[in-house]
């Protein structure tokens, strides 16, 4: 079974996903996402080690990007 986590955008834009091969030994401990499809944070365990995986889809326009990353910081 393939493991997929995602943060939805709208039907026309945004949205991110992370997928793992079915043979990959991973357990998703916690999943956090925003409601706009721009941020996905996974706390996972891989072979008895913990990791934080972060997937970010930043805005393309400079002013929006600056504000977005200030909030993320």
Mean pLDDT of 33-61: 91
Pairwise pLDDT comparison (72 vs 38), residue with the higher score: 38
Is the pLDDT score of 73 beyond 70?
no
Q: Where are the alpha helices (DSSP H) in the chain?
A: 62-72
Yes or no: say if 40 and 16 are a contact pair by the CB < 8 Å rule: yes
Give the pair of three-digit tokens for residue 9.
């955008």
Instruction: Give the count of alpha carbons within 13 A of 72, CB side only.
Output: 18
pTM above 0.85, yes or no: no
Instruction: Tell me what pLDDT residue 43 has.
Output: 97
Largest pairwise CA distance in the chain: 42
Instruction: Tell me what pLDDT residue 24 has.
Output: 82
């Amino acid at each position: 079974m393939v493991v997929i986590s995602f943060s939805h955008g709208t039907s026309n834009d945004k949205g991110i996903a992370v997928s793992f091969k079915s043979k990959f030994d991973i357990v998703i401990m916690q999943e956090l996402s925003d409601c706009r499809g721009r941020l996905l944070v996974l706390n996972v365990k891989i072979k008895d080690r913990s990791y934080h995986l972060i997937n970010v889809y930043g805005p393309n326009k400079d002013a929006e990007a600056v504000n977005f990353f200030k909030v993320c910081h």
